[in-house]
Amino acid sequence: MNHYATQTYPGPNHKVNEDAAGNLAASGFWVVADGMGGHVAGDVASALVCETMLADAKSGVLMRDTVARAHAAVIDVSTRDVAKAGMGSTVVAVQITKNQAEVVWVGDSRCYLWRAGTLEAVTKDHSLVQHLLNTGQISEAEAASHPERHVITQTLGVGEPEADAVQLSLQRDDWLLLCTDGLNDVLTHTEIGAVLAEAPDLEHAANHLVELVKERKGRDDVTVTLVHYNPQTSKPWIPVLVGVGLGLLGFAIAIWTDAI
């Protein structure tokens, strides 16, 4: 059974938390979304994205398709309700099937893989800064303090976003970290890894990450979901016991039949 933990905290100047998270843990599905802080009804958008994707995941809809349907749902509500016009949301979600994980995302909410003491970014932001990095126009050091690092290039509910997706082969005791940018805007890659390295379990790790953001007075909402990949293993001695039991039962029946 894959264990998980989620922690969230609203930015100090926000009246509502515009992040949202949900899961169908029994089906291996987790999702995190970040409503656009600069747009109206960001909390409505992120909640709608999670609700749509959870309902679709329960029905077996493919990951890319459910992202498209979440985008359509946000567009539909914002079109019908003028008070919500222009709302949008990022999303990152993971579906674990056996030892495979499919990660999909739109925007700058992220997924990290923690394996054997090493933290690796699974996703690449749909952002202006990531584009500048990809094209060699700025360095990693410059990206960290770039004045337009919060400008994202794809958003559910706005334009025609195209989700990216990656497939991962998981190993026992891998951790997957899904988060909104309220985490990585405040903590560096190295600092996030240090917290995971020291944490005795998922709950402590999630709480510690969020507490650090609060201590450093992060201005944005922050949400983290940690998933521990811990597949069930079959017990090889069970078939043996069943076989022995059936053998003894057959032997007993044979003796009883001869006695009659």
- pTM of the full structure: 0.86
Assigned domain for 240 exists: no
Residue at 208 is within a domain: yes
**Nearest-10 Cα torsion for 207, 209, 213, 219:** -90
54 located within any domain? yes
How many domains, in total, are found in the chain? 1
**pLDDT reported for residue 111:** 98
Q: Could you tell me if residue 255 is inside a domain?
A: no
| Residue 248 included in any domain | no
Q: 237 pLDDT exceeds 50?
A: no
164 in any annotated domain: yes
Q: Is 198 within a domain?
A: yes
Over residues 135-142, mean pLDDT: 80
Instruction: Report yes or no on 239 lying in a domain.
Output: no
Give residue-wise pLDDT tens across range 179-213: 999 999 999 999 999 999 999 999 999 999 999 99
- DSSP letters, 71-90, are HHHHHHHHHH-GGGTT--EE
**Matching residue, tokens 């584009």:** 131
Question: Structural domain of residue 121, as residue ranges?
Answer: 3-234
Q: Are 126 and 152 in contact (CB under 8 A)?
A: yes
Please tell me the number of Cα atoms within 13 Å of 105 on its side-chain side. Answer: 27
Least confident of 95-104, 123-132, 169-178, 194-203: 123-132
Tens-digit pLDDT profile for residues 10-58: 988 888 999 999 999 999 999 999 998 555 799 999 999 999 999 999 9
CATH of the domain at 33: 3.60.40.10
Q: Which residues contact 204 (CB under 8 A, 6 or more apart)?
A: none
